[in-house]
Amino acid sequence: GAVVSQHPSRVICKSGTSVKIECRSLDFQATTMFWYRQFPKKSLMLMATSNEGSKATYEQGVEKDKFLINHASLTLSTLTVTSAHPEDSSFYICSARSGTSAYNEQFFGPGTRLTVL
């Protein structure tokens, strides 16, 4: 149980275009989903927290107009990188928290490697 999928796993796009990344909880309902960014050999950096049916909460320094998050259902959250630039190239990982978890474990997706040319 507790499987989270992400799509696509890799994406290459041109500068100025927008890219959408999907995060799905496959076998549980995720009351809260999180989006992280990770640089090579570094720990995860939280970008935003999204709760189903409400606006995402962004961490300090993360541009909400650039990284659009939609948590439309209890099993799906999307991250759209708008007007992407080479500096947005990174590994993006989502995680999902089950409302039934007493210990706040998060289950992570496999990540999406974004390369902006």
Per-residue contact string for residues 87-106; x = within reach of another protein by CB under 8 A: ----x-x-x-x-----xxxx
Nearest approach, Cβ of 103 to another protein (angstroms)? 4
For the four alpha carbons of 15, 114, 68 and 21, in that order, the dihedral sign comes to positive
Question: Looking at 12-20, 49-57, 66-74, 76-84, which segment touches another protein (CB under 8 A)?
Answer: 49-57
Among 18, 113, 115, 117, indicate the residue that binds another protein (CB under 8 A).
Answer: 113
Among 11, 13, 20, 49, indicate the residue that binds another protein (CB under 8 A).
Answer: 49
- Residue closer to another protein by CB (options 9, 18) is 9
Sequential DSSP letters for 16-57:
T--EEEEEEESSS-EEEEEEEEE-TT--EEEEEEEETTS--E
Tell me whether strands 44-51 and 57-58 are parallel, antiparallel or unpaired. Answer: antiparallel
Strand-pairing partners, residue 22, are: 7, 78
